[in-house]
C-alpha cells in the first residue's frame, strides 16, 4: 500500500513538472493524459482497499498519507 501511495505522489510530481514544460507540446499532450490515467488507477486501488479495510488499517493508511 505504501508503494502505491508513493507512486501516486511521484506521478503527481512528474505530471506537475511536465505541465510546466513549454515547447514539447506533442510529447506532453501524449504523456500527461497517460500519467493522469496511472494516477487515477492507483488512487482507485488505494480507495478500494481503504473501503474494505478494518479501522486500524484505515488509520494506518491515513498515517502513511500524513493525514494524522
Q: Under a CB-based contact definition with an 8 Å cutoff, are residues 50 and 44 in contact?
A: no
The more confidently predicted of residues 19 and 4 is: 4
Phi, psi of 10 (to 5 degrees): -65, -45
The more confidently predicted of residues 49 and 28 is: 49
d(CA 42, CA 54): 20
pTM above 0.85, yes or no: no
Structure confidence by residue, pLDDT tens digits, 6-40: 888 888 888 888 777 766 666 677 788 888 899 99
CA distances from residue 51 to 4, 47, 58 in whole angstroms, order as listed? 16, 6, 8
Phi, psi of 64 (to 5 degrees): -60, -35
Residue boundaries of the structural domains of the chain:
2-65
Amino acid at each position: 500500500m505504501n508503494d502505491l501511495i508513493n507512486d501516486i505522489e511521484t506521478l503527481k510530481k512528474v505530471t506537475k513538472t511536465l505541465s510546466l514544460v513549454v515547447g514539447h507540446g506533442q510529447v506532453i499532450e501524449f504523456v500527461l493524459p497517460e500519467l493522469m490515467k496511472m494516477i487515477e488507477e492507483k488512487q482507485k486501488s488505494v480507495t478500494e482497499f481503504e473501503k474494505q479495510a478494518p479501522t486500524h488499517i484505515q488509520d494506518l493508511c491515513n498515517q502513511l498519507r500524513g493525514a494524522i
